[in-house]
Structure 1
Amino acid sequence: MEDFGVSYERRRLVLLKIVNFGRIIKPLIFIEAGIHAREWVAPAQALFIIHQLLEVPDNKELIEKVDWIVIPLVNPDGYEYSHSVDRMWRKNRAKGKTCDGVDLNRNFDFHWSQHGSSDYECSSTYAGVSAFSEPESLALSAVIKRYASRTKLYLSIHTAEQCILFPWGYTMEVAENDLELRQLASLVARKVYNISKVEYKVGTSAQTLNIVSGSSRDWAYGVCNISLAFTIELEAHLNTRHCDRFIMPPRKINKVVSEMFEGIKVFYTFIKDKYSVH
């Protein structure tokens, strides 16, 4: 475990590096969660992955051929605020002139502040005064860059749109390796459906959900050249556009994260088979 920065309110930003030490340089899977404060199940998913990798003997294979970096909580200030003050808070807690907070997933320096974000401080998708204006997004970008040459899979975990998404978010155009991205996302969605009967949509962010500019996932793909980059939007509590979809009963959380972990293992198998030294 190591600190990779501090938040606006000086909380620690922490990553866990899970490796089985050896002489071989292995491919790396990079996972970040909790960039949006109200999406509580996303950090729970990251913590479940950590637990499965470290504590469950049956998953020992998952760290033999692949290294992992997991960041459970990119936005600790907003997460705390969503617990103590405003359950539906989304942004970080940076002080503004009119309203507080920046949407960290609109603050990355890739098509920053274009369609799919806002330049209005009080908007929930406010992109900030400049790209990487926020300590959380800047710190995350630095650690992504540090490991980019080894990172073969980038996952950004969110809730609660029930989708597996891939580039692009900023445009309706598709990425160069769209077929590979689409096929892998479909394999993951099919695995989750087979064990849960929960159907995850698959597609580009812009075509499937909405246009998003300045996102961490597009930046990892477009700037750091991580060719397999996905956003996992976990299952919603309710099939509704209402904010209640974010408020999942505790009894259901384990079901959701354990089902998606089976999908994570599909990602792992693909990376192992494609990139591992045998």
Structure 2
Amino acid sequence: MLAPEHRISALDQLDSKGIMHYLHIADVAKTLEKQDEEMQMWRQTKSRNGKMVPFEDYPRYAEVDEYLEKIAADYSDIVTLVNAGSSYENRPIKYLKLSSQITLHKSKPIYFMDAMIHAREWVTTPVALYTIHRLVENLRDQDRDLLHDIDWIILPLVNPDGYEYSHTDFRLWRRTRSIGSALNSTCIGVDANRNFDVEFNTVGVGLPCSDTFPGSEPFSEPETAIIRDVMAEHDGRIQLYMNIHSHGNWILYGFGNRTLPSNAVHLHHVAASMGAAMDALKLPAAGFYKVGNSALILYQTSGSAQDYGQAVGIPFSYTLELPGYGWAFQVPPQFIEHINAETWEGIAVTARLARSYYRQRDNFLRGSSIATDVRS
């Protein structure tokens, strides 16, 4: 994004070096303002037709919190609300445990899902909330096995500080909101998806003021430490970890340094099945899902949640990138309902496949070792 006074000189430099370029958005600020107006009109129309629920909209932090509290109170026989700790700005970060036996049962695999680790990726939290809705409020006969045979941990809002800031100050904010890093005291926050203790600060990271700054050390952020602690608490039982992002129609697995886990074939099987289920329902404006190693399909990274989950022994650890429909991170709310519905079908497929592998776990490689170099 160029300030008007820098436009000519910047384009001249590109031209002088033979670098191809094109104009994507003429005025980003006006585009964001127009989208805000359209969202407000959409909400007014929806609210006239009945009470809106959080997974049909882009709910604020307080609305997400209220929904989790309500679900836990109304369905206390199968739902446990956990206050896992506080964000940097002291917002409680909560998640739900879902189990047909109230407490998580040791004989059952756990499906761990989180969303909104990157603040600007608004469409991710509705998917997590809709998953709760389908497993609790609207559990259908064909899906009863998903709650009977599997326990769930769902954390809908990993980065509440950044998320609120993206609503109030800067729509495209990505990072956390921590201040006073040991490396830099002027740049705010870190990229939470580079802050995990796996190949930390090696590839795919930036300087302190960049969007990919990993922080001064692994787990410097309370938000990422919460994910780490969930994985540690349920070590050996979490069969699948889904770190939900947008945008791009990708289902990615480790490792971000262009090596593969030893169970890469199984990882690909589950991911490809998920992609096929979602592609069957996709809108024409969306691309087909691409499935594969994150470094080969997207770019190299280090310190990601996906890689950390795989490294600590979760057999199936993924990054899911939801559709953008050409709108990037500003997906119009009219698309939320469809994204929820198609993604739920993919989640159900992965849950059942991972469960089948869990039943064979004595003979199954858990994939925690980095076994195969695919750079050639």
Structure 2 length as normaliser, TM-score? 0.69
Question: Which string of whole-angstrom CA distances, capped at 9 and with x for unpartnered residues, describes residues 11-41 of structure 1?
Answer: 0111100000077621111111110000001
Shift of 1:271: 2.3
Corresponding residue to 1:67 among 151, 166, 170: 151
Q: Which protein has greater RCO, CA pairs closer than 8 Å, 6+ apart?
A: 1
Shift of 1:251: 1.1
Corresponding residue to 1:275 among 354, 358, 368: 358
Matching residue of 1:246 = 329
Matching residue of 1:126 = 213
Question: Which string of whole-angstrom CA distances, capped at 9 and with x for unpartnered residues, describes residues 211-266 of structure 1?
Answer: 110011101111x211111111001131xxxxx41111111111012101100010
Matched, 1:141 2:238: no
Structure 2 stretches lacking a partner, 5+ long: 1-80, 361-376
- The 1:132/1:183 distance shift into structure 2, 3 A limit, reads same
Q: Distance in 2 between matches of 1:208 and 1:85?
A: 33
**How do residues 39-118 of structure 1 correspond to structure 2 at under 5 angstroms?**
39-58=121-140, 59-96=143-180, 97-118=185-206
Q: What percent of counterpart residues are identical?
A: 38
Corresponding residue to 2:281 among 171, 180, 195: 195
Q: Report if the CA contact (8 A) 2:316-2:354 is conserved.
A: no
Q: Distance in 1 between matches of 2:85 and 2:236?
A: 21
Mean CA deviation greater in 13-22 or 153-162: 13-22
Q: Distance in 2 between matches of 1:53 and 1:163?
A: 24
Matching residue of 1:232 = 320
Q: Report if the CA contact (8 A) 2:239-2:355 is conserved.
A: no
Instruction: Count residues with an aligned counterpart.
Output: 269
Amino acid across the alignment from 1:29: Y
Corresponding residue to 1:19 among 85, 88, 99: 99
Matching residue of 2:310 = 221
Structure 1 vs Structure 2 CA RMSD:
1.5
Matching residue of 1:179 = 265
Shift of 1:276: 4.8
Shift of 1:196: 2.1
After TM superposition, the runs of 4+ consecutive aligned structure 1 residues lying more than 6 A away are none
Q: Report if the CA contact (8 A) 2:177-2:188 is conserved.
A: yes
Q: Distance in 2 between matches of 1:103 and 1:34?
A: 12
Shift of 1:182: 1.1
Q: Report if the CA contact (8 A) 1:37-1:82 is conserved.
A: yes
Q: Report if the CA contact (8 A) 2:126-2:340 is conserved.
A: yes
Matched, 1:164 2:246: no
Q: Distance in 1 between matches of 2:223 and 2:117?
A: 9
Amino acid across the alignment from 1:175: P
Q: Which has the larger radius of gyration?
A: 2
Shift of 1:191: 1.2
Q: Distance in 1 between matches of 2:226 and 2:261?
A: 26
Structure 1 length as normaliser, TM-score? 0.93
- The 1:121/1:67 distance shift into structure 2, 3 A limit, reads same
Amino acid across the alignment from 1:273: S
Q: Distance in 1 between matches of 2:260 and 2:107?
A: 32
Q: Distance in 2 between matches of 1:271 and 1:14?
A: 25
Q: Distance in 2 between matches of 1:134 and 1:200?
A: 31
Shift of 1:180: 1.1
